[in-house]
Amino acid sequence: MSHALLIAPDPAAPRLTREVDGVDQDGTTRSTRVVEERPLTIYLNRQEIVTAMTIGDYPDYLAVGYLRNQGMLLADDEIIAVDYDEELETVVVRTTRETDYEEKLKKKTRTSGCAVGTVFGDVMEGLEGLQLCGGSLRISDLQALARRINTTPSLYLEAGAIHGTVLCRGADPLVYMEDVGRHNAVDKIAGWMVMSGTAPSGLMLYTTGRLTSEMVIKTAMMGIPSLASRSGFTAWGVEIARQVGLTLIGRMRGRRFVCLSGAERLVWDGDPSADDGESDVPGRKGGR
C-alpha cells in the first residue's frame, strides 16, 4: 500500500513560477510558465556563508541542510533559531556554539552543479573512515518508485528547467524537493532530516540529475546508504561511492538500471517482465 508524501511538489504555487509571453515555431503568441530563480543568502550566526540561487521554497531546510552537508553544522550542534527574511532574501541559522569558518570559506571550490554548487576543500576529510550502514535495497521497490515518482505532479512536468530529489523508504517516496540545482534539492532534504530528527538508516535518495562527486558526498554526509538516478555517472562520483560503501545506481528507467557501487545491498526480487514505467510519462525520453 502506497503512503502519501510527507512533502510533495506544489506545481500550483504562484511564487515558484510566472507566465511569460512568447511566440512558437509558427509565430503564434503563447504564454509559457517558467520557473522563478531568486537569490538566498545563508548566514551561520553572524557570518555570511554563501548566496544560492533557488526557487525560494523551504529556505529554512535549504540553509540547515547546506550547512550540515558542508560540515559547518555538527551533529551535536543545537539550533536555537532559523530566521528567514523574505524581503532581504536572507536566512540566518543560529546555534548555541560559537562558529567561525573564515579559513574554511577561503578553500571554497566550484563544482559541476548546473546552478553552481560549491564544496569546500576539507569536505573530503569528513569522509575519511566513513563507512555507511548496511541494509538492503529490493529491486521491486526500485521499480515501484520509478513509476510513482515519474508520475507525481511536479514543477518539472509543469514548467521544466528544474531538478528533483526524493527521499524514499522501501517503495514509498517520503519527501520530494525540487530546485534549479540538484544540490539545492538534496540540501533541502538534509535540512528536513535534521529539523525533523529523521535517522538515515534504511533510506534512499532518488535524484533526477547526474551522479557527480558532489551528489555522492552530500548523500554520504547525510548517512544515506543508497543513491539512484535516471541520469549517468562521473568517474569521481563512482570512486567516492566505492570508498564509502554507497550503493550507486544510475541510468534508471523503470526496471532497467546500472549499479556501479554497493551491489551487495541489492535484493534481486524484481519481475523482469514488468512494465518499465516509461509509458506513464509522455514525452520523457531521458534525464532532466
At 68-85, the pLDDT tens digits run 998 899 999 999 999 999
Instruction: Return the DSSP state at 265.
Output: G
Task: Find the mean pLDDT for residues 200-208.
Answer: 94
Q: Please report whether residue 221 resides in a domain.
A: yes
Place of cell 529554512: 60
Task: Find the mean pLDDT for residues 243-253.
Answer: 94
Q: What does the longest C-alpha to C-alpha distance in the chain come to?
A: 61
* Residues 162 and 82 placed together within one structural domain of the fold: no
At 135, give phi and psi (nearest 5°).
100, 175
**What is the structure's pLDDT at 266?**
96
Residues of the chain with pLDDT > 90: what percent? 68
Angle formed at CA 35 by CA 228 and CA 105, multiple of 5 degrees: 65
**What is the structure's pLDDT at 283?**
41
Q: Which residue has the higher pLDDT, 127 or 206?
A: 206
* Residues 168 and 96 placed together within one structural domain of the fold: no
**CATH code of residue 66:** 3.10.20.10
At 114-134, the pLDDT tens digits run 544 555 555 566 677 788 887
Enclosing domain of residue 114: 38-121
Q: Please report whether residue 132 resides in a domain.
A: no
* Residues 117 and 233 placed together within one structural domain of the fold: no
Q: Please report whether residue 199 resides in a domain.
A: yes
Q: Which residue has the higher pLDDT, 283 or 172?
A: 172
What lies within 8 Å, CB to CB, of 69 at 6+ separation is 186, 187, 190, 217, 218, 221, 222
Given a cut of 90, is residue 284 above it in pLDDT?
Answer: no
Element (H, E) at 277: none
| Burial of residue 64 (number of CB atoms within 10 Å: 0-12, 13-18, 19+) | buried
Strand partners, 33: 19
Given a cut of 50, is residue 282 above it in pLDDT?
Answer: no
At 14-36, the pLDDT tens digits run 899 999 999 999 999 999 999 99
Given a cut of 80, is residue 233 above it in pLDDT?
Answer: yes
**CATH code of residue 260:** 3.40.140.10
At 210-223, the pLDDT tens digits run 999 989 999 999 99
**How far apart, in whole angstroms, are the C-alpha atoms of residue 183 and residue 44?**
19
At 51-62, the pLDDT tens digits run 999 999 999 999
Given a cut of 90, is residue 7 above it in pLDDT?
Answer: yes
Q: Please report whether residue 152 resides in a domain.
A: yes
Q: Please report whether residue 146 resides in a domain.
A: yes
Given a cut of 90, is residue 228 above it in pLDDT?
Answer: yes
What lies within 8 Å, CB to CB, of 180 at 6+ separation is 35, 37, 53, 54, 55, 114, 115, 161, 162, 163
Q: Please report whether residue 128 resides in a domain.
A: no
**What is the structure's pLDDT at 22?**
97
**What is the structure's pLDDT at 112?**
43
**What is the structure's pLDDT at 275?**
53
Q: Phi-psi region for residue 161, left (φ > 0), alpha (ψ -120 to 50) or beta? A: left
* Residues 63 and 149 placed together within one structural domain of the fold: no
Q: Please report whether residue 285 resides in a domain.
A: no
Q: What is the reported pTM?
A: 0.87
Q: Please report whether residue 253 resides in a domain.
A: yes
* Residues 98 and 151 placed together within one structural domain of the fold: no
Candidates 255, 246, 258, 249; CA nearest to 200 is 246
Which of 121, 153, 185 is at the close of a domain?
A: 121
Given a cut of 70, is residue 1 above it in pLDDT?
Answer: no
**What is the structure's pLDDT at 231?**
94
Structural domain count, the chain: 2
Average pLDDT taken over every residue of the chain:
87
Q: Which residue has the higher pLDDT, 253 or 60?
A: 60
